[in-house]
Amino acid sequence: MEGLFGKLRNLDAYPKINEDFYSRTLSGGIITIVSSIVMFLLFISELRLYLHAVTETKLIVDTSRGETLRINFDVTFPALSCSMLSLDAMDISGEEHLDVRHDIIKKRLDSHGNIIESRQDGIGSPKIEKPLQRHGGRLEHNETYCGSCYGAEVSDEDCCNSCEEVREAYRKKGWGLSDPEIIDQCKREGFLQRIKDEDGEGCNIYGFLEVKKVAGNFHFAPGKSFQQSNMHVHDLLPFQKESFNISHKINRLSFGEYFPGAINPLDGVQWVQHAPYGMYQYFIKVVPTVYTDIRGRTIRSNQFSVTEHFRSDDIGRLQSLPGVFFFYDLSPIKVTFMEGHVSFLHFLTNVCAIVGGVFTVSGILDSFIYHGQRAIKKKIEIGKFS
């Protein structure tokens, strides 16, 4: 047994030195204190990294199919009234959402930006007293109202009981409504009067769209949209205006659900129109993103980058539709963020590296100072130090 202990004693890589041979110095004490503080601070830093989640980022090819894209928006138009403003969305597959009204709220704003009225678009029509029937007579007691569509009926049974229904029938036919005053429904509902009353007002429109996950665009523009000769046009005649001010502020614009660290570059962006005519365009590249938190909860969302351009027309030549257009395209690369903890073995390895590294460097520094002091002292004693 004694022989075994003797062999183990010979394997000792840390031979001990008798305390009688130790030489303690002031510089050594200072270096010990400083190195201890450095080791402690580095240990605390490493401990914080270990206790907090770290995010790993990867880029992969997006192979998802058949998904939808949710577009959240909140845009303010300080010089365009809510009765004029409409929202359309379309994509390269040919799907169109014209004059979108569901899941959208409009707020009328005065010239100072204060809210006058908040309503869901398309809800609330004035009560009609004795409206004009399709056959020409006025609505009598116990009769069912069926208003004329003024030539836009698809079948003999079609009825247009409000100004909005007449405009919608005209839109489906690809016709413009040149004079709302000749439409009984619009005249009784005060369509033109409402436009005049809201003149000088602004509009805040917010909500969301659910569209196919393909390239497309959505835009805010005055007038009801329709297709004419395979072209997308807006009916601006009822508003009897020569120019439209499309100055706007984007309070919020995002594609999908919020996730930690998400940055939407258009939030808070404001633009003021100076030219009388024009179209403001945003070109957006949407990057699919998957975020997985430390608890394993997955958020499927999107990030995006953007460039912008204002297309102006000469005075008197309104060639482009006045409005704010958002053209978006999807990236084929998906970004994944995954939260996780550093492993304990990795933490232990880093702590050992900190202790050993600081201890070694401080030992080298102490040795250099100690031997330097001894050399200088010896030269002083023999009188060769100058």
Residues 374 and 360 in one domain: yes
Residues 172, 174, 180, 186, Cα dihedral to 10°: 0
pLDDT, average across residues 317-325: 74
Is residue 385 in a domain?
no
Residue 386, domain member (yes or no): no
Kindly report, residue by residue over 99-143, the tens digit of the pLDDT: 888 889 999 898 888 888 776 654 344 444 555 555 454 555 556
Q: Which two tokens stand for residue 127?
A: 């009560």
Tell which residue, 198, 217, 218, 194, has the closest CA to residue 207: 218
Q: Please report the pLDDT score of residue 126 as a whole number.
A: 44
Same domain, yes or no, for 75 and 224?
yes
- Residue 18 has a pLDDT of 65
Q: Is the pLDDT of residue 315 over 60?
A: no
For residues 160 and 287, membership in a common domain is answered with no
pLDDT digits (tens, 9 = 90+) for 37-55: 999 999 999 998 888 888 8
Q: Do 280 and 324 sit in the same domain of this protein?
A: yes
Give the global pTM: 0.68
Q: CA 283 → CA 175, 251, 300, 330, distances in Å?
A: 30, 18, 22, 11
Other CB atoms within 10 A of residue 279 CB? 19
Residues 220 and 286 in one domain: yes
Clarify whether residues 273 and 140 are in a common domain: no
What is the predicted pLDDT for the residue at 328? 96
Please give the tally of structural domains in the chain. 3
Pairing of strands 278-292, 96-97: unpaired
- Most confident residue range from 64-68, 81-85, 261-265: 261-265
The last residue of a domain, from among 144, 165, 199: 199
- The answer on 361 and 280 residing in a single domain is no
DSSP per-residue codes, 130-176: SPBPTTSSBPPTTPPP----TT--SSTT----SHHHHHHHHHHHT--
Q: Point out the domain boundary residue: 178, 199, 220.
A: 199
Q: Within this chain, do residues 81 and 210 fall inside the same structural domain, yes or no?
A: yes
Q: Judge if 329 and 205 occupy the same domain.
A: yes
CATH number at residue 65: 2.60.470
Task: Note whether residue 297 is domain-resident.
Answer: yes
Q: Would you say residue 106 lies in a domain?
A: yes
Name 96's Cβ contacts closer than 8 Å, sequence gap at least 6. Answer: 88, 89, 90
Do 195 and 205 have their domain in common?
Answer: no
- Give the residue from 199, 224, 245 where a domain finishes: 199
Same domain, 247 and 330: yes
Q: Can you give the pLDDT at residue 166?
A: 82
Domain span at 168: 124-199
Instruction: Please choose, from the candidates 50, 122, 51, 112, the residue with its C-alpha nearest in 3D space to the C-alpha of residue 82.
Output: 122
Task: Tell me if 160 sits within 8 A of 147, measured CB to CB.
Answer: yes
260 shares its domain with 322: yes
**Mean pLDDT for all residues in the chain:** 81
Nearest to 202 by CA among 75, 74, 81: 81
> Alpha-carbon distance 111 to 115, whole Å?
10
Note whether residue 28 is domain-resident: yes
The answer to whether residue 3 sits within a structural domain is no
Task: Convert the pLDDT of each residue in 205-238 to its tens digit.
Answer: 999 999 999 999 999 988 776 666 566 666 665 5
More confident residue, 266 or 177: 266
Highest mean pLDDT among 148-152, 157-161, 193-197, 325-329: 325-329
* Tokens 């990867």 belong to residue: 58
Does some domain include residue 16? no
| Residue 332, in any domain of the structure | yes
Tokens in use for 322?
A: 């006045």
Residues 6+ away with beta carbon under 8 Å from 300: 256, 257, 288, 289, 290
